[in-house]
Amino acid sequence: MSSKEERALPEIVSKTVPGPKSIEYHRRCTKYFKGLSEQVKLFPVTFESGKGCVLTDVDGNRFIDFSSGIYVTTLGHCHPKISEAVAKYAGQLMNAHDFTTPIKTLLVEKLAEILPGDLRGFQLYDCGTAAVEAGLRICRAATGKHELISGFYDFHGKTYGGVSLGHIRSSAYGAVRAPGAHMVPRPDPYRPMWSKADGSIDTDKYIEFYEMYIDRGTVGSVAAFVLEPIQGWGGSIIPPDDFFPKLKKFCEKHKILLMADEVLTSWGRTGKWLCMEHWNVIPDVVSIGKGFGNGFPVTCVAVREQYAKSFESISASSSYGGNPMACAAALASTEVIIEENLLERSTHLGEVALKKMKKMMENHRIIGDVRTKGCLMGIELVKDRKTKEPFNEAGKLVYQKAFTKGLAWIPAGHILRMSPPVVMEDEMLLKGMDIIEESIAETEKELMG
């Protein structure tokens, strides 16, 4: 796309947004298709195509993409190298179950080369939840213990095991968590449960609580802590830099594994292959997904060498995991990140965004906090900065207003979530931020006077 075309974006050509074709397709589809996400319910647009950092709907409207398909198309839509890799194997070999193929061999060799420490055991799956569930089985098999601990507002998928370690409520499971599933508070710098005298978050108190909770709240059979490095669904919550190093030492002391659910945060999203690398922590088990195949459904479980044999005892293979198309997508995505220096690009975009968001915060009283780690970003809206009362109504309105202006992105109640592709140009990123600021200003005026 030329710089002239980029300057013309976003481009809204229909009289209303969503336009008439979008509404009609949505009506026809939802006659049969059920269980929609909140973002679709709030803005039922029908997309037809995507290229780079731009989405086009059936009415010809072109949107700047600040969602990446919910953290998935990290390298932009239809990157030619990735599309060509998938097409090649769609015409050559689609599936061979878990037999070895040349493309799978190349992929796992590349993973062994770039992942930190001794993460050298791999298995491949077709969705994040499947990878998480396999990781949980690894933790139990490797330790011989069965209890698992996750954090408040974490998200680990929508199967029973994942839901039991997350904040989701579902009557489908009888509103009962799986046996052995526990949840504990984790540090949120903006809303700390324990603070020091100077107001900074006291991470030692969290670790002390874990010690007490394991002693009094479990049966003493804790296999692993299972945590998102940065919470996505919870609102782009970034922990203090000292939290995971302390937690890792705590886990080692108690012979508990640390599993990082990096389905959302891995493969360049935060400026590293794994988000845990920001804190020089090597997890024992890690789930990798979303941007791993840049839109093609492929995920991975990686484990440290000493636990790799546990794959043999959990019936690790799956029907679609590691199929040649998936391996080709993952390998091509990995090569693109290396060839185009996109880890550095993600870090740069995060710095540009944070600078802009801090200025926005100075001008708008309903912005309580802003945060970024690479291209994982969040703006928290509050009714009052002193009380920090969440402003959910404002969050929904800002989301809808910005979408109408040509910004495709992610709602999360009172927290605005942004995950632009890491290939985005600075000018387009700032234009998207301008749309958000305009929408915040309008919302602030409407709701606060």
Using a 10 angstrom Cβ sphere, with 0-12 exposed, 13-18 middle and 19 or more buried, the burial of residue 324 is buried
Structural domains of the chain sorted by starting position, each given as residue range(s) with its CATH number in brackets: 3-78+342-378+405-436 (3.90.1150.10), 103-322 (3.40.640.10)
Query: Which has the minimum average pLDDT: 78-92, 271-285, 411-425?
Result: 411-425
Count of CA atoms in the C-beta half-sphere (13 A) of 172:
9
Q: What pLDDT, on the 0 to 100 scale, is given for residue 173?
A: 58
Q: How far is the C-alpha of 352 from the C-alpha of 429, rounded, in Å?
A: 8
3-state secondary structure of 312: helix
The whole-chain average pLDDT of the chain stands at 95
Q: What pLDDT, on the 0 to 100 scale, is given for residue 422?
A: 98
Q: What pLDDT, on the 0 to 100 scale, is given for residue 352?
A: 98
% of the chain residues with pLDDT over 70: 97
Q: What pLDDT, on the 0 to 100 scale, is given for residue 412?
A: 72
The residue count of the chain comes to 449
Tell me which DSSP letter residue 258 carries.
E
Give the dihedral of Cα atoms 208, 212, 218, 221; nearest 10 deg: 60
Q: Answer whether residue 4 shows pLDDT above 80.
A: no
% of the chain residues with pLDDT over 90: 92
What's the pTM?
0.96
The packing angle between helices 392-404 and 426-448, to 10°, is 130
Q: 4: which 2 tokens?
A: 């002239």
The band of 3, judged by pLDDT with boundaries at 50, 70 and 90, is low
Q: Answer whether residue 18 shows pLDDT above 80.
A: yes
pLDDT digits (tens, 9 = 90+) for 98-107: 999 999 999 9
Q: What pLDDT, on the 0 to 100 scale, is given for residue 75?
A: 98
Q: How far is the C-alpha of 427 from the C-alpha of 413, rounded, in Å?
A: 28
Q: What pLDDT, on the 0 to 100 scale, is given for residue 169?
A: 67
pLDDT digits (tens, 9 = 90+) for 358-407: 999 999 999 999 999 999 999 999 999 999 999 999 999 999 999 999 99
Question: What is the separation of C-alpha 238 from the centre of its chain, rounded to a whole number of angstroms?
Answer: 12
pLDDT digits (tens, 9 = 90+) for 140-198: 999 999 999 999 999 999 898 998 998 776 666 556 789 999 999 999 999 999 999 88
Find tokens 């001794």 and name the residue.
118
Q: How far is the C-alpha of 246 from the C-alpha of 201, rounded, in Å?
A: 14
Q: Other C-beta atoms within 10 Å of 215: how many?
A: 9
Work out the average pLDDT over 114-118.
98
Q: Transcribe 198-256 into DSSP letters.
A: TS-B-HHHHHHHHHHHHHHHS-S-EEEEEE-SSBTTTTSBPPPTTHHHHHHHHHHHTT-
The band of 8, judged by pLDDT with boundaries at 50, 70 and 90, is confident
Work out the average pLDDT over 323-347.
98
Q: How far is the C-alpha of 95 from the C-alpha of 318, rounded, in Å?
A: 11
pLDDT digits (tens, 9 = 90+) for 273-314: 999 999 999 999 999 999 999 999 999 999 999 999 999 999
Is the omega angle on the peptide bond into residue 245 within 30 degrees of 0, that is, cis? Answer: no
